[in-house]
Amino acid sequence: MTVIQTVGVIGAGQMGRGIAQVFAQSGYDVMLQDVSSDALGIAEGFIRDRLDRNVSSGKMTVGERAETLGRLSYGSSIEPLGARDLIVESATEKEAVKVAIFESLLPHLSDHTLLTTNTSSLSITRLAAHTDRPERFMGLHFMNPVPVMKLVELIRGIATDETTFKTMQEVVARLGKTGTVSEDYPAFIVNRILVPMINEAVYTLFEGVGNVASIDASMKLGANQPMGPLELADFIGLDTCLSIMGVLNDGLADSKYRPCPLLVKYVEAGWLGRKTGRGFYDYRGADGIPVPTR
């Protein structure tokens, strides 16, 4: 199997910075790349804050924090990533963006580099076809928030070879995560089940069966869910939920995956959830208490 020591993470958003953190904590030399220097600055501050919390809670020593930070570097250029043993793409959930990233990487890649994508729904086989190494390409889908959630979905494309798969199984184990294996079908396992449930909750709101507070309270108290489905949608991002429903609807051609019109309207309004301050809840109040928007 390929020995992985150096890792490149593309995309310094919520997922990318979490992925970079867990790799660095697990002993890998990590470069986090993003075209936005502002995003890189935010990511670096976020990771430092997370590590400070780990020290305060006794989960990490001061020395371990320093070692982790020493294994992290940041940059806006994609070229230096080509020499890395493993690249994890974690850019926005838009196929055209991901394809452009992989195509821009090709001239700089070392022969041994493994490519993975953190896509939550898109075809691994189709993305791999835009590279020069589909046999060394696979899906590595982390859950949010990455430092907390224990699951990683491992998804092989049709061309992914056994060596690549076994190597990534070993990497996931070293990260202290549990890997589950999914076939390369739209939205894989977690989001194939989770996001249609969220979409159905939005339909329940849209049709007036219950309001936001009632729907979330019902599912938390009646189904023992830690977060209500609309609260969870805000946490994930309504644009991401809509994108995944679109992939399911297009890929499986089943009317049960039709995105709720109300979900579409919220996204059109720019009410994307926590990251924009407003979604099914309004997070902009001075007291910090989320207020239902319906």
DSSP letter at 80? Answer: G
Mean pLDDT of the chain, nearest integer: 96
Residues 204-254: tens digit of each pLDDT: 999 999 999 999 999 999 999 999 999 999 999 999 999 999 999 999 999
Residues 180-208: tens digit of each pLDDT: 999 999 999 999 999 999 999 999 999 99
Residues 107-129: tens digit of each pLDDT: 999 999 999 999 999 999 999 99
The catalytic residues are 120, 141, 153, 191
Query: What does the domain layout of the chain look like in residue ranges?
Result: 6-183, 192-292
Please state the residue numbers annotated as binding site for NAD(+).
11-16, 34, 93, 98, 120, 144, 275
Give the pLDDT score at 255: 94
Q: By CB neighbour count within 10 A (0-12 exposed, 13-18 middle, 19+ buried), where does 286 fall?
A: exposed
Residues 271-289: tens digit of each pLDDT: 999 999 999 999 999 888 9
Give the pLDDT score at 67: 97
Give the pLDDT score at 102: 97
Q: Which CATH class is domain 6-183?
A: alpha beta
Please tell me the pTM assigned to this model: 0.91
Q: Which of 85, 89, 80, 65 is nearest to 12 (CA)?
A: 89
Q: Per-residue confidence at 60, pLDDT binned at 50, 70, 90?
A: very high
Cβ atoms of 60 and 52 within 8 Å: the answer is no
Element (H, E) at 292: strand 291-292
Tell the CATH superfamily of the 192-292 domain: N-(1-d-carboxylethyl)-l-norvaline Dehydrogenase; domain 2 (1.10.1040.10)
